[in-house]
Amino acid sequence: MTLSSFSRYRAEWYSGPAAARRDVLAGMVGTFALIPEVIAFAFVAGIDPEVGLFASFVIGIVIAFAGGRPAMISGAAGSVALVAAALVQAHGLSYLLAATVLAGIFQIAFGLARLDMLMRFVSRSVRTGFVNALAILIFSAQVPQMLGVTWHTHAMIALGLAIIYLLPRLTTAIPSPLICIVALTAIAAWVPMPLRTVADLGRLPDALPGFALPAIPFDWATLAIVAPYALAMAAVGLLESMMTARVVDDLTETTSPKARECTGLGLANVAAGLFGGIAGCGMIGQTVGNVRYGGRGRLSTLVAGVFLLIVMVPLRPWVAQVPVAALVAIMVMVSISTFSWGSLRDLRRHPRVSGIVMLATVVVTVATHDLSMGVAVGVLLSGVFFAFKVSRLMAVRVEHDVDSDTRTYIVSGQVFFASAEMFADRFDLRDDARHVRIDLTAAHLWDVTAVGALEEVVAAMRRHGIAVEVVGLNQASAVLVDRHAPLMRDATA
């Protein structure tokens, strides 16, 4: 680590007492925002809540030191749980722990190979759709907690939202969600009401996590079972973490090393699997909440993990009495602040294809409850629309010199798989001119499809007795032609 990078790393931990206080308080709020989602996704994965909570504690500690994006909250939730569910159902928890360790190893390898650069292909429309879909999923996850309950629950949720949104007008010294939790817990203890509490959500841990290797046979048969799930968990986890890191970059107007985030998440997941936890990833809802309430440094991430353990073990009896209504109010606030409301206005101002990509990402994600599927569809649509747009920029202009009876086809633009057929259709293969010149000075051949189209045009004209000359090839295009169409060498100049 160079001196400058060390100074930056130190500043990410401590940049003054005021920033440290904000990090600590924001991290504490992030802990309470973690609890309901981690428990909910533990049920999705078919494991005890304590497995998810242990993992979130370990991941939070490791990622605070090894991650690349300060102020980012990572834990055992998200689409990773959907991938893990099938493995748990078929083979049990021990195989899940092994898959978690292997997924972490894959992620470390991805980071070292700098595969984070693939995120450059994720457009802003896809990122906006990802954020909006996640906001919808966060809100929809709270709906079951608001159905089939008495009016007391609705009243407490309303009171919690009032505290969260109105208290900052009086003071911002303490994050209002933290006050919401304390106030609603005190009210519930003082006035007995039929309310669900955190204890009703599932078994909470009553001891510290312990180190242990997964109890499975270490042979090729086990690897064949675990590897496909581990690779899927690694890919999904990295996708969500990279998207979350990009969102924080936008919110804080800073940059972060994404490759380091990949390796940091890998180390965190290896540790999680060895301490009896499920694999995790960046949690955008909790991260946005952390940033909104002042978290900017690594200290907020560390506090979120450490405070989770403190809350879950020594303070377990007290935490068990926290009303679920308080957690629901916080998550509703997070969903509202996560949603990009400006994107609705942009649907009319931005190009139509951008709106289609954003809406498709939202619809697919919400329909499948799989963030990676929504992003994949969005990236695919972005690529198709981009290819279609670029292909339409290709043009062929025709000039004829009567004295030499030479017809010149002047090509401009990009010739690749999406425009190659259009390129070939611009030529009269039965041209009555004695000489044909194809001028590619203002064009570029990108792939073998483009080279193949050019070769077919030249070959067809030659079969009809036309002398064909290809001029203006740039160096990159000439290399492609020389490599994939060697019979055209005598036609190029």
pLDDT digits (tens, 9 = 90+) for 159-217: 999 998 998 888 777 778 878 888 999 999 898 889 888 778 767 777 777 788 888 88
What phi, psi does 407 have (nearest 5°)? -100, 125
pLDDT tens digits, 287-318: 887 888 788 889 999 998 888 888 777 777 88
Q: Which residue has the higher pLDDT, 327 or 152?
A: 152
Please classify residue 117 by burial: count the beta carbons closer than 10 Å to its beta carbon, then call 0-12 exposed, 13-18 middle and 19+ buried.
Answer: exposed
Whole-angstrom Cα distance, residue 65 to residue 473? 52
CA count, 13 A, side-chain hemisphere, 450: 23
- The tens digit of pLDDT for each residue in 360-394 reads 999 998 888 777 788 889 888 988 888 888 777 78
Sign of torsion, CA 244 250 253 259?
A: positive
The one-letter code for the residue type at 195 is L
Q: Report d(CA 318, CA 334) in Å as an integer.
A: 24
| Alpha-carbon distances, residue 245 vs 142, 252, 258, 365, 379 (angstroms) | 25, 10, 8, 19, 18
From CA 416, how far away is CA 105, in angstroms rounded? 37
What pLDDT is recorded for position 156?
Answer: 93
In the chain, % of residues over pLDDT 90: 21
* 124-142 helix and 220-252 helix, angle to the nearest 10 degrees: 100
Output the pLDDT for position 162: 94
Going 327 to 328 to 332 to 335, the CA torsion angle's sign is: positive
Region at 414 (left for phi over 0; alpha for psi -120 to 50; beta for the rest): beta
Residue 186: predicted pLDDT: 92
Distance CA 13, CA 2 (A): 17
d(CA 321, CA 44): 24
